[in-house]
Amino acid sequence: MANLETDFIGIKSPNPFWLASAPPTDKEYNVRRAFEAGWGGVVWKTLGEDPPIVNVNGPRYGAVWGADRQLLGLNNIELITDRPLETNLEEIARVKRDYPDHAIVVSLMVPVNEDSWKAVLRRVEETGADGVELNFGCPHGMSERGMGSAVGQVPDYVQQVTEWCKTHSSLPVIVKLTPNITDIRKPAQAAKDGGADAVSLINTINSITGVDLDLFAPEPTIDGQGAHGGYCGPAVKPIALNMVAEIARTPDLRGLPISGIGGVTTWRDAAEFLALGAGNVQVCTAAMTYGFKVVQEMISGLSQYMDEKGFTSVDELVGRAVPQVVDWKDLNLNYVTKARIDQDLCIKCGRCYAACEDTSHQAISMSEDRTFEVIDAECVACNLCVNVCPVEGCITMERLAAGQVDPRTGAVVQDDYANWTTHPNNPAKCAAE
């Protein structure tokens, strides 16, 4: 099996799978079980100042489900740890003593006050923890107190607090970024300017996942009322991937280590984050849905994939997809494909026909015996039919070779590399002109 050991900003762990700062990492019992199950590291649930936080005693989670009640996303209104700071610190020290080869990073959130950060950092260092993660992402409850995303949305605050932490601690500092912002690159740049060793993203997305239509209150409902919360799970993965990629491909931010978070459920999800520039991944919802042993499938799957690709270390996968992430203007407009339907696999459900006929380009015909065929002259290769077809592999996109005539436009398909920079269809050339 491939070697999955990682060295993320000097923090070593047996594999790149860490549990994110969340309910699964709230206490010693959980973390020990996680390490025994195979997790490479944990980010301890966010600590604050004493006296401890008071959480709600009613439902803390709202949910969005897909088919067969598959959990697509969780909305949580839980705050940072409600356990005493000293209790958490004692437990962190014990676990780190017993699991020296596993990563333990401590998530922190205190008021924007230098003395507060200095005091808590000193106490965390005494535990022997491997690093700290600054929680600038939580969008509910704590943000209303001037912490969490209230800090993460202001780059000046991000830089200032990061500088304090680098001044008053020798531990590696990871800055956890909020997605509740227009341009993720700005707080990332602020973290880098403040001396951060790495960034982690994304934290949860501000959300209301549903409304109880009898009580007329947001869910989860507490005594007839509800509040916005933080959304996570498989549904947020596309947003997280984009934000990770934006940081990884921005010249001024290149080289800034990234811990990827957001909807990692399978080894493939993790591999996608790594390929887009993350040095490791953090997981929460998958563990809460399937239990800690889900990491074993992630480990075996990623290891097998790396063996098949000939990768001997995780570092060889990190960032492999970043050069292929481009702006729209850089896409090759001479690349032409057409949809193709495999009649042996088609179950004649007609979903491709309905979608294309009603909402797209009327590029699929239906015969009396419900045989569906692509009309090349109308097909713009939008891929909608592929996405709505319930049979995997039944509809595929076939590329037209250079020199063929595109039946829709009558134009000869150009070689996708030859003379592309000067081709009249190149949007960059058009813009320049």
Measure the CA–CA gap between 249 and 262, rounded to whole angstroms: 19
Say whether 352 is catalytic: no
H/E stretch holding 269 = helix 267-275
247 to 156, 244, 277, 385: CA distances (angstroms): 18, 5, 8, 33
* Contact criterion met (CB below 8 Å) for 31 and 193: no
Measure the CA–CA gap between 109 and 428, rounded to whole angstroms: 45
- Which spans in 16-140 are helix H? 28-37, 85-98, 114-125
Task: For residue 104, give the amino acid letter.
Answer: I
* Contact criterion met (CB below 8 Å) for 15 and 38: yes
Measure the CA–CA gap between 172 and 21, rounded to whole angstroms: 16
Measured in Å, how far apart are the chain's first and last C-alpha atoms? 54
Measure the CA–CA gap between 433 and 416, rounded to whole angstroms: 21
Pairing of strands 211-212, 217-218: antiparallel
Q: Where are the beta strands (DSSP E) in 213-279?
A: 217-218, 229-232, 258-261
For residue 68, the SS3 value is helix
Measure the CA–CA gap between 400 and 338, rounded to whole angstroms: 7
H/E stretch holding 351 = helix 351-359
DSSP state of 124: H
Task: For residue 391, give the amino acid letter.
Answer: V
Query: Annotated catalytic residue: which of 138, 232, 379, 394?
Result: 138
CA atoms within 13 A on the CB side of 313: 8
Measure the CA–CA gap between 359 and 356, rounded to whole angstroms: 6
The full length of the chain comes to 433
391 to 22, 359, 386, 396: CA distances (angstroms): 37, 20, 9, 11
Q: Which two tokens stand for residue 384?
A: 């909608």
Catalytic residue numbers, as ranges = 138
